[in-house]
């Protein structure tokens, strides 16, 4: 069993800066898939810092490993 826990970093313009509803799904930026949270957080932080002055731009880390292997939540 692998210890790899995939994470996706993505983002784009949101309809409401306090929410996560993206304004245009065709313009979502897929930053990348990372083998662990630390690397994903580094990529997220880099993208978020580039758009810090634009409240409508939001980047997130998605825990893909939780979607791919839901039984991991029990550990």
The answer for residues whose C-beta is within 8 angstroms of residue 62's C-beta and 6 or more apart is 7, 8, 9, 10
The correct CATH number of 7-74 out of 3.30.70.2400, 1.10.1740.10, 2.60.40.10, 3.60.40.10 is 3.30.70.2400
What's this model's pTM, rounded to 2 decimal places? 0.84
Exposed/middle/buried for 60, CB within 10 Å: 0-12, 13-18, 19+? middle
**What tens-digit pLDDT sequence spans the chain (75 residues)?**
467 899 999 999 999 999 999 999 999 999 999 999 999 999 999 999 999 999 999 999 999 988 887 776 555
Specify which residues 73 forms β-bridges with.
Answer: none
Domain ranges for the chain, please list them.
Answer: 7-74
How is 1-59 classified by DSSP, letter by letter?
A: ------EEEEEEEBSSTTS--BS-GGG-EEEEEESSHHHHHHHHHHHHHHTTT-TTEEE
């Amino acid at each position: 069993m692998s210890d790899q826990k995939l994470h996706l970093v993505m983002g784009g313009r949101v309809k409401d800066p306090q929410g996560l509803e993206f304004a245009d799904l065709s313009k979502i930026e897929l930053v990348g898939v990372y083998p662990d949270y630390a690397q994903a957080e580094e990529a997220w932080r880099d993208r978020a810092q580039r758009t810090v002055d634009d409240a409508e731009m939001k980047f997130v880390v998605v825990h893909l490993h939780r979607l791919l292997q839901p039984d991991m939540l029990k550990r």
